Chains A and B, each alone.
Chain A
Amino acid sequence: MNETAAQIIIGVGLAFDLFGCIGLVRLPDVYNRVQAATKCVTLGTCFILLGTAVYGMSAAMGIKAMLCAVFILLTSPVAAHAIARGAYKSGVRLWEGSVVDLYGEEKHPSRPPDERTEPAQAGETLGAGRESG
């Protein structure tokens, strides 16, 4: 009974991790990719840890798995924030289809608008993703 429940939970976690990885490949720029990677992989990994805790059914395993889940929930958004902020500060551009960039307008006014988004060109990631998807 426990084993079946644990396997289902771990399966759900793996599915979310997989969606995160697909997002990493298909989405067009750093910021969108970080979103997919953080959200899906955080929840997916938490599900896997929960499944491990259910499977083990012992205090030793359960406590460790739950503590790991808490750590991941606390640290992964911080890491995502650091990556996104670092990317922007070092000049990584937004995808050309982005609709608004208030951060650039207000915090980096010296950077001309056409340098904030990527120029449209053939063979962009989104186009490539569309063809293969």
Chain B
Amino acid sequence: MKQLLCIVFTFGLWVALTWTPGVADVFVGVVVALLVATLLSHIYPDNPHKALDPRRVFWFLVYIPYFLFYCVRANLDVAYRVLHPDVPIRPGIVKVRTKLESEMAKTFLANSITLTPGTLTVDIDGSDLYIHWINVVGEGVEEHSALIVRRFEKLLRRIFE
């Protein structure tokens, strides 16, 4: 079942990448999809039926513009720090704690943190994330978690858990 899904997904991706596909493209696509499914289907998520839940899809669609907004803000923030003559940074590695449990949600959280204002995930250990922060504000795990993690956590929980 998982392998079948992997084949369909990989093949769809291949067709999209070779658009508009000819006979040769489709043939190669089938071979590649079979190969990928054989080698890598074990890393696919265990319960893909979750992706069909309309509520999860809805929150995911909400998440995209929300994330893009923070992503653009992050870029303006970094651009400001880089272009300022004094390079106003106050870097450090802080620890934050997340309440998310599934691996997928944590992956998305870590990636979102990396792409948003001044923060970069250095390591994940269970529910602890070590974050390199370009401009450390506040003190203590609780305050840092509130500043960095909370803005994504609620949406991600609705999407993945």
Contacts and interface: CB of A to CB of B under 8 A. Distances in A.
B17 A100 contact: no
A74 B110 CA distance: 11
22 contacts: A16-B79, A19-B75, A20-B78, A31-B91, A31-B93, A31-B122, A34-B120, A35-B134, A40-B75, A43-B71, A44-B75, A60-B19, A63-B17, A76-B115, A77-B114, A77-B115, A81-B120, A97-B89, A102-B94, A103-B95, A104-B93, A130-B87
Given A31-B132, A107-B130, A43 B110 contact: no
B1 interface: no
B16 interface: yes
A98 interface: yes
Interface in A93-133: 94-95, 97-104, 106-107, 126, 129-130, 133
B136 interface: yes
A32 B136 CA distance: 12
For chain B, the bracket of interface size reads: 35 or more
Nearest to A125: B87
Nearest to B93: A103
B83 A100 contact: no
Interface of B: 13, 16-17, 19-20, 71-72, 74-75, 78-79, 81-83, 85-87, 89-95, 110-112, 114-115, 118-123, 125, 130, 132, 134, 136
Nearest to B75: A43
Contact of B92 (A28, A100, A133): A100
Interface of A: 16, 19-20, 22-23, 26-29, 31-32, 34-36, 38-40, 42-44, 59-60, 63-64, 67, 73-74, 76-78, 80-81, 84-85, 88, 94-95, 97-104, 106-107, 126, 129-130, 133
